Amino acid sequence: MSIRSVLIANRGEIAVRINRAAKALGLRTIQVYSAADADSLAVRLADEAVEIGPATARKSYLNIANVIEAARKTNADAVHPGYGFLAENAEFADAVVAAGMRFVGPSGDSIRLLGDKVAARREADKAGVPTVPGSDGRVSNAAEAAGIADRIGFPVMIKAAAGGGGRGIRIIQEPAEFERQFLQASAEAEAAFGDGGLYVEKVIPAARHIEVQILGDGQNFVHCYERECSLQRRRQKVWEEAPAFHLPQKVRERLCASAVDLARSVGYVGAGTVEYLYDDKTEAFYFIEVNTRIQVEHPVTEMITGIDLVQEMLKIAGGAPLSVRQEDIVISGHAIECRINAEDPFKDFQPGPGTVETLSVPEADHVRFDTMLYEGYVVPPFYDSLLGKLIVHGDTREQCLSRLSAALADLDIRGIPTTTPLHRALAADPAVAAGTIHTRFLEGWLETRFARPDSDKEVA
């Protein structure tokens, strides 16, 4: 490899994950951190650590000049952005390259192209990837949007062209709502993303969220099969699986091939994810967007394919060709990941930063816990609530679920609230076991099926 060191421009569990992957490849690691993260596990693991600013992310982890300066000062050969923060910021990718270093991910131009939802949809169309029926690019006013909705049928979504992560989306049930909602949505998109551009898409009811992991080195492109990520709350994934259940083999082949077609058409470099909506009834899949980074839920793919995606990203950034051929990538068994967040599921998921008093983690060959926690660690209030990810493998989905229940019973984090009880309930739920879920399932389930156990009830 032509790189010998990597700066990790992130924090939390993914910074720990990247540190370990880089060290396994013999790379020197440099960890940047905010004033609030001096005691973090990633800082402790790294060969070198550089403070890049105060706790507020905008002044530290999102501060491009400070991150680049830290990389220069420590002679980093490459920069891994993780997920979130600057991971899909094209200017950052460009700045890393302009400073003479490798960006562990695709080029700034690829990020720009695929990050613009309208441009990405055009690119998908061009590559022959099915897209959700909707407008051909941006719509300029409510009347045009209403005309498209008439053609494709209600309900429809108005989406921000520059949006992502579920933000900037409105659902329109009937023509009369367009006039009011369109202007509001445009104003919101302008405020949130600096771009008021909107487009229209048909709502696919009871759809599942299925995504395909891709890898590319600019010449060769492979997929590592798909993940099922339909269990979501407020459009944030809560639980992910690989492979997707109830997916006919023929559909799986077409789905994964379409993701590779898209990767090839843009000359993709690095790890990426092509997201789709999947309709169980018609067996149709529709392109949603491409995420040009490693995803939170990447471990389920690693558990069923044996590929270390973060190491692969680093090797590609070092100029190596893909180390795997498509025919070598096979699915072995089933994996499930539960996101353990510092939130109280019995109190409307209220966040609860604070001190981890004790930590007890299940250990077995088929269990993996990716985390930044240690006993005595103080979880700061300034960043997202993800504490760790419990990932379990089984020969079958059934075995995986039963192993997951056992692992969740043995996961014990004291001192702060966590979402572990939610996952225990989901792992035991018949609908989850039957796989009759979709992207709106969890929110309904939380209202009707999830209740605080009586013994835990607070005295009013």
Collapse the DSSP code of 98 into the 3-class scheme (helix H, G, I; strand E, B; otherwise coil) and give the result.
helix
By CB under 8 A, residue 353 contacts other proteins: yes
* CB nearer to other proteins: pick between 25 and 35: 35
User: Active site residue: 121, 227, 293, 368, which one?
Assistant: 293
Which residue in 205, 306, 376, 381 binds other proteins (CB under 8 A)? 381
**Residue closer to other proteins, measured from CB, 143 or 187:** 187
Nearer to other proteins, 165 or 321 (CB): 165
Does 151 participate in catalysis according to the annotation?
Answer: no
Q: Find the radius of gyration of the CA atoms of the chain.
A: 22
Does the protein bind other proteins through residue 342 (CB under 8 A)? yes
Residue from 370, 368, 362 nearest 387 by CA? 370
CB of 384 to other proteins, least distance (A): 5
Q: Site for other proteins (CB under 8 A): which residue of 23, 59, 138, 424?
A: 59
Among 154, 193, 346, 382, binds other proteins (CB under 8 A): 382
Answer for which of 103, 182, 369, 383 binds other proteins (CB under 8 A) is: 383
Q: How far is the CB of 34 from other proteins (least distance, A)?
A: 9
How many of the other CB atoms lie within 10 Å of CB of 362?
19
Q: Does 56 bind other proteins (CB under 8 A)?
A: yes
Smallest distance, other proteins to C-beta of residue 348, A: 10
Distances in Å between the alpha carbon of 121 and those of 126, 199, 231, 286, 315?
A: 9, 11, 24, 10, 29
Query: Around Cβ 436, how many Cβ atoms within 10 Å?
Result: 12
Site for other proteins in 191-210 (CB under 8 A): 191-192
Phi-psi region at 422: left, alpha or beta (left = phi > 0; alpha = psi -120 to 50): alpha
Q: How far is the CB of 23 from other proteins (least distance, A)?
A: 29
DSSP run (H or E) holding 29: strand 28-33
Does residue 55 bind other proteins (CB under 8 A)? yes
| Closest of 317, 292, 310, 272 to residue 79, by C-alpha | 317
- Site for other proteins contains 242 (CB under 8 A): no
Q: Is 26 within 8 Å of 318 (Cβ atoms)? A: no
343 belongs to the binding site for other proteins (CB under 8 A): yes
For the CB of residue 151, give the shortest distance to other proteins in the complex, in Å: 34
Closest CB to other proteins among residues 185, 274:
185
- 213, 385, 418, 439: which one contacts other proteins (CB under 8 A)? 385
Shortest separation between residue 46's beta carbon and other proteins, angstroms: 22
Residue number, 118 or 342, with CB nearest to other proteins: 342
Of 428, 362, 364, which is closest to residue 394 (Cα–Cα)? 364
Amino acid at 41: L
DSSP assignment string, 213-263: EEEEESS-EEEEEEEEEEEEETTEEEEEEES-SS--HHHHHHHHHHHHHHH
Of 167, 158, 165, give the one whose Cα is nearest residue 192.
Answer: 167
Neighbours of 152 (CB within 10 A): 15
Determine, following the binding rule CB under 8 A, whether residue 287 of this chain makes contact with other proteins: no
CA distance 101 to 90: 15
Of 11-19, 140-148, 313-321, 343-351, which part binds other proteins (CB under 8 A)? Answer: 343-351
- Interface characters, 126-165, with other proteins (x: CB under 8 A): ----------------------------------------
Q: For other proteins, how many residues bind (rule: CB under 8 A)?
A: 19
Tokens, residue 265: 């058409």
Q: Which is nearer to other proteins, 152 or 192 (CB)?
A: 192
Sign of the alpha-carbon dihedral angle for 245, 13, 270, 65 = positive
Residue whose C-alpha is closest to residue 411's, from 377, 364, 460: 364
Give, as ranges, the residues between 64 and 103 that touch other proteins (CB under 8 A): none
Q: Decide: helix, strand or coil at residue 121.
A: helix
With binding defined as CB under 8 A, does residue 186 bind other proteins?
no
The interface with other proteins within residues 402-421 (CB under 8 A) comprises none
**377 lies in the binding site for other proteins (CB under 8 A):** no
What is the C-alpha separation between 299 and 241, in angstroms, rounded? 10
Asked if 54 interacts with other proteins (CB under 8 A), we say yes
CB of 87 to other proteins, least distance (A): 16
Please say which residue, 33 or 285, places its beta carbon nearer to other proteins: 33
CA dihedral 183, 186, 187, 193 (to 10 degrees): 170
Q: How many CB atoms lie within 10 A of CB 422?
A: 27
CB-nearer residue toward other proteins: 268 or 383: 383
Q: Which residues are catalytic?
A: 293
| Contact set with other proteins (CB under 8 A) | 35-36, 54-56, 58-59, 191-192, 342-343, 350-351, 353, 381-385
